[in-house]
């Protein structure tokens, strides 16, 4: 079956099997920022944006992206660079394995709710597993990315 979608602003027409997951489809076409973590939809490492909202690509069938817009870290590199700078300033990038998923969640939060509270940030981070920290540094970094200097 053929699936048509936008990937980082570029049209894609890809042949898939009916049971293929988006994570595998993206990997097959060379997307490097999307990672395989837990394979149980509970770590957030495979996060991508579909129509601007975070989704877990390890549990989303590729057929479901027909006509949709998919964004990965590569598609918003300038914003991800800003987030990464804040992560570094706050010590939130210890091993870095979770960073791409968390950064996309932060970017989505900025576009959907730019005046987010700490509770909004924590909600956006739910489902993202970071084994290195207690999430306080990520919350501080995201708050600064959203424009709050405190």
45 against 41, higher pLDDT? 45
Which pLDDT value is given to residue 38? 82
CA-based radius of gyration for the chain: 15
Read off the pLDDT of each residue in 20-37 and give the average, rounded to a whole number. 94
Model's pTM, two decimal places? Answer: 0.92
5 three-state secondary structure? strand
Select from 2.40.50.1070, 1.10.150.120, 3.40.50.1370, 3.20.20.150 the CATH code of 75-145. Answer: 1.10.150.120
Distance CA 93, CA 97 (A): 8
Helices (H) and strands (E) counted in the chain, each on its own, are 5, 5
Which pLDDT value is given to residue 150? 59
Please state which CATH number belongs to domain 2-74. Answer: 3.10.20.30
37 has pLDDT over 70: yes
Q: Domain coordinates of the chain in residue numbers? A: 2-74, 75-145
Q: Which of 149, 7, 137, 139 is nearest to 73 (CA)?
A: 7
Q: Which of 72, 76, 92 is nearest to 31 (CA)?
A: 72
Which pLDDT value is given to residue 149? 64
């Amino acid at each position: 079956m053929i699936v048509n979608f936008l990937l980082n602003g570029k049209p894609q027409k890809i042949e898939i099997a009916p049971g293929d997951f988006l994570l595998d489809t993206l990997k097959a076409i060379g997307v490097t920022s999307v990672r395989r973590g837990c394979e149980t939809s509970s770590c957030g490492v495979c996060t991508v944006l579909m129509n601007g909202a975070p989704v877990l690509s390890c549990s989303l069938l590729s057929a479901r992206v027909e006509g949709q817009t998919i964004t990965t870290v590569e598609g918003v590199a300038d914003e991800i660079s800003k987030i990464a700078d804040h992560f570094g300033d706050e010590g939130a990038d210890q091993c870095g394995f979770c960073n791409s998923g968390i950064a996309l969640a932060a970017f989505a939060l900025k576009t959907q709710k730019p005046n987010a509270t700490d509770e909004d940030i924590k909600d956006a981070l739910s489902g993202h597993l970071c084994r290195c920290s207690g999430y306080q540094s990520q919350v501080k970094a995201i708050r600064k990315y959203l424009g709050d200097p405190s």
